[in-house]
Amino acid sequence: MKSCGVVVEYNPLHNGHVYHLKKARELSGADTIIAIMSGNFLQRGEPAIVDKWSRAQMALSAGADLVIELPVAFSTQPADYFAKGAVGLLHAMNCDAICFGSESGESADYQKLAHFLKQHTPTINQRFKENRDPGKTYASQMDQILKELMPEQLVSLSTPNNILGLAYSKENVLYEKPMELYTITRVGSDYHEKELDEQNFSSATAIRESLVGSKKNKARIEELKLSMPDSSFEQLTTHPLVSWENYWPYLKYQIEVQSLEELRTVYQVTEGIEYRLKEYIQEAESFEQFISLVKNKRVSWTRLQRLCVYILLQLKKEDMVNELTEPQAIHLLGFNFRGRNYLKEMKKRFSLPLIANVTKKNKNLWTSDIKAGKIYQMGQLGLIKEQDYYRQPLK
Amino acid sequence: MKSCGVVVEYNPLHNGHVYHLKKARELSGADTIIAIMSGNFLQRGEPAIVDKWSRAQMALSAGADLVIELPVAFSTQPADYFAKGAVGLLHAMNCDAICFGSESGESADYQKLAHFLKQHTPTINQRFKENRDPGKTYASQMDQILKELMPEQLVSLSTPNNILGLAYSKENVLYEKPMELYTITRVGSDYHEKELDEQNFSSATAIRESLVGSKKNKARIEELKLSMPDSSFEQLTTHPLVSWENYWPYLKYQIEVQSLEELRTVYQVTEGIEYRLKEYIQEAESFEQFISLVKNKRVSWTRLQRLCVYILLQLKKEDMVNELTEPQAIHLLGFNFRGRNYLKEMKKRFSLPLIANVTKKNKNLWTSDIKAGKIYQMGQLGLIKEQDYYRQPLK
């Protein structure tokens, strides 16, 4: 019984993702595909357009066998912590392989590079310290250092997918028994795929823009049918949709009501950013305007969005230290018959507790995520269902 | 130059208040009437229907010469602290007299009772400890103790106005040079007043109910003209109106996002009330429903509303200890020519700093109130003006 993991957000799930799931099964030859999926708050520091249950349903309909939630402490992070959480869950579930999208570079390249990085960690950290440049992103600094250290450039770090892929690979080689790696070159590898891409592989970003926010376009919604499975389209048209703007009043309120000192207890509120938050909060009339006011050369749009999630959810520095050591539990959002067989067979060997439904008994393993769910619900007051307590996994 | 203080909320100012101002001037013979007015959050634990500037304008139009803001730490309190703040401000301004409404009881009775209470503080505190009954209000327990200790009952403590009147009187006798006391029997003392009462003395509560909340009644708004001065009517019809329901989403969000431990840092969150708050916050669909769910025999509606203000504004236990020692400043909201003369003459003898407008320089004297203003503004996002920074007093 072979298993292969994919790490996903499905915001929302579109044809590109269906292709990814299909390819993961083909390449790895796995019986069971385990999707580790971000919950209600995502890697770029945004609320998901529909809740984790809708997105888990999309995942099951599109070919995943098990859908497991990536805790919010990991899901709202740059590549390294995001990968630590996801790979940690896959290892805790005895997963055999991981398959990820890559703009360029084969799995062997990632493997090799991950080993190289593991062996040279002290040297790389030293270089980072010496050349620290707050004007450049972590990835571009790493790219520079690698170019200096390695004669052949195995994986370019100029695209988000490659950065994530490398982060999974790096995390993976830290385990005694690493998973096999598989990569899927995302677009344009042959004519067929290119055609699909142009016709039906709309990006998740483009899809969201048609559905929510200032660029919302009702006329385009019917067109979206072409770029995603029917199940995704159904979820999107029958559930409340949200964007950051739905949480803007709460964020604004929280930044207004907290003192500078209180803001500093929030995770990642460092280097005086709290002064800029306070400075611009009053005049900003939307989330987007707020971020564009606070943004400067030292801090990227994405980092600011993540910071706003930490403030909105009041994730504190002291709590995150603990939560980021490893995931506390395997929260099951959904499964099909193959997923059920996998659980039956393997559950006893899981190295973390499996939560099939959140109850008063196990809630201590899921504190920040329960909170994230409660706040997510407030984006459409009264319309979004309870996210955790007593919810049954989808079948 | 004689001055007389009145302690008011004007939520909103109606004909009864005009009568009070007129009588205060007559009885005391004062040249200057100083109104100490609650800011944007009031004694019963509610946001004011219109902001403090609108209400200060009503006050000036109705006959007050100076309008001074009672800081939020004092304005959202039971009688004792409310009186401590208000009487403290009047003493700091060298005020000669105070005039308050009384259901029954003459000023001499209050005077006598206040002295009696001052002399017998230890005995009374002892009795309180011995007979502590959480099922009864503070006032009814005090009433009981007084009945036991005093042969003649000077002031009945069965009405809010008498309780406040006594609190002013008690606070006043703690000063070396107490103010003169004047009382106004509020209603029905002769035919004329009774008639006025029935025709044009609608209570502030009835007026608010016609304007905001679930009992809102547009048809009645024109009728309101009869029960208040034109200036009040104009303020109410040209400014954004709010009630607790406008702040309900923020309160709900804050109670959801804070842990029990964090809630316990808030002023007056004691005796396990935080568990009840957490228990009912999810199901409640309105502020009113929330309070009725949380309410039980041990805690009154008003106490709960105040608690919700403390949570909404995140007034912490440790901050309130300092703020409640005495008001930090005399914040001037408005004045007329008599008020200006008074300031010119007396300012040098004020024992607290006078803030004519809040700036970066003096903001440290006004921290909680600036915060209260920012949160008050959020009740009608974008419609309510900045409440403190660089606002000029009304003239």
DSSP string across A101-116: EESS--HHHHHHHHHH
* Amino acid A220: pLDDT: 73
User: Cβ–Cβ contacts within 10 Å for residue A249, how many?
Assistant: 16
Mark the ranges of chain A whose per-residue pLDDT is less than 70. 134, 186-202, 214, 219
> What are the domain boundaries of chain B?
244-321
**Both tokens of residue B111?**
């005077």
Phi-psi region of B40 (alpha: psi -120 to 50; beta: other; left: phi over 0): alpha
**Both tokens of residue A347?**
């559950």
**Which of B40, B256, B258 to probe by mutation at the A interface, max A CB count within 10 Å?**
B256
Q: What are the tens digits of pLDDT across the range B268-302?
A: 999 899 999 999 999 999 999 999 999 998 889 99
Task: Report the C-alpha gap between B111 and B123 in whole angstroms.
Answer: 19
* Amino acid B106: pLDDT: 87
Residue B381 at interface with chain A, using a CB cutoff of 8 Å: yes
Contacts of B314 in chain A (CB under 8 A): 257-258, 262
Task: Report the C-alpha gap between B149 and B109 in whole angstroms.
Answer: 16
Helix (H) / strand (E) containing A36: strand A32-38
Contacts of B375 in chain A (CB under 8 A): 253, 256-257
Least Cα separation, residue A301 to chain B (angstroms) = 24
Q: What are the tens digits of pLDDT across the range B179-203?
A: 999 999 865 433 334 333 444 556 7
Q: Is the dihedral of CA B351, B356, B360, B364 positive or negative?
A: positive
CA distances from A318 to A257, A265, A266, A279 (A): 21, 8, 9, 26
The secondary structure of residue A206, as a DSSP letter, is H
Q: Who contacts A52 (Cβ-Cβ below 8 Å, separation ≥6)?
A: A37, A38, A39, A40, A69, A333, A387
* Amino acid B62: pLDDT: 97
Q: What is the ipTM of this complex?
A: 0.91
- Chain B's closest residue to A385, CA to CA, is B282
**Both tokens of residue A369?**
């995520």
- Chain B's closest residue to A283, CA to CA, is B382
- Looking at residue B153, its amino acid is Q
Q: With contact defined as beta carbons under 8 Å apart, do B41 and B309 qualify?
A: yes
- Looking at residue B202, its amino acid is S
User: Cβ–Cβ contacts within 10 Å for residue A221, how many?
Assistant: 15
CA-wise closest residue to B246 among B115, B128, B132, B380: B380
Residue A260 at interface with chain B, using a CB cutoff of 8 Å: no
Angle between helices B301-312 and B244-257 (to 10 degrees): 70
Angle at B277 between CA B271 and CA B283, to 5 degrees: 155
Q: Who contacts A203 (Cβ-Cβ below 8 Å, separation ≥6)?
A: A14, A16
Cβ under 8 Å to B: A residues 336-375 = 371, 374-375
* Amino acid B381: pLDDT: 87
Task: Report the C-alpha gap between A15 and A190 in whole angstroms.
Answer: 16
Helices assigned H by DSSP within chain A: 15-28, 52-62, 72-75, 79-92, 107-119, 121-131, 138-149, 160-172, 191-200, 204-211, 218-224, 230-238, 248-257, 260-263, 273-281, 287-294, 301-312, 317-323, 337-346, 367-377
Q: With contact defined as beta carbons under 8 Å apart, do A378 and A250 qualify?
A: yes
Least Cα separation, residue A47 to chain B (angstroms) = 16
The secondary structure of residue A296, as a DSSP letter, is B
Mark the ranges of chain B whose per-residue pLDDT is less than 70. 134, 186-202, 214, 219
Task: Report the C-alpha gap between B102 and B4 in whole angstroms.
Answer: 16
The secondary structure of residue A365, as a DSSP letter, is G
Contact B314 A252 (CB under 8 A): no
**Both tokens of residue A4?**
């292969």
**Both tokens of residue B203?**
């209570």
Angle between helices A248-257 and B367-377 (to 10 degrees): 170
Contacts of A313 in chain B (CB under 8 A): 257
Contact A249 B381 (CB under 8 A): yes
* Amino acid B157: pLDDT: 82
Task: Report the C-alpha gap between B16 and B197 in whole angstroms.
Answer: 8
Task: Report the C-alpha gap between A394 and B385 in whole angstroms.
Answer: 48
Residue A380 at interface with chain B, using a CB cutoff of 8 Å: no
Contact B378 A256 (CB under 8 A): yes
Q: Who contacts B296 (Cβ-Cβ below 8 Å, separation ≥6)?
A: B276
Phi-psi region of A63 (alpha: psi -120 to 50; beta: other; left: phi over 0): left
* Amino acid A192: pLDDT: 38
Residue A279 at interface with chain B, using a CB cutoff of 8 Å: no
Of B285, B375, B386, the CB nearest to A253: B375
Give the count of alpha carbons within 13 A of B322, CB side only: 10
Number of CB pairs, chain A paired with chain B, less than 8 A apart: 52
Task: Report the C-alpha gap between A381 and B73 in whole angstroms.
Answer: 31
Residue B258 at interface with chain A, using a CB cutoff of 8 Å: yes
Give the count of alpha carbons within 13 A of B272, CB side only: 2
Task: Report the C-alpha gap between B307 and A81 in whole angstroms.
Answer: 39
Task: Report the C-alpha gap between B86 and B68 in whole angstroms.
Answer: 9
State the average pLDDT for chain A. Answer: 91
Name the CATH superfamily for A1-104+159-243+326-395: HUPs (3.40.50.620)
Contact B374 A250 (CB under 8 A): no
**What is the pTM (predicted TM-score) of this model?**
0.92
Residue A314 at interface with chain B, using a CB cutoff of 8 Å: yes
* Amino acid B187: pLDDT: 54
* Amino acid A167: pLDDT: 94
Helix (H) / strand (E) containing B91: helix B79-92
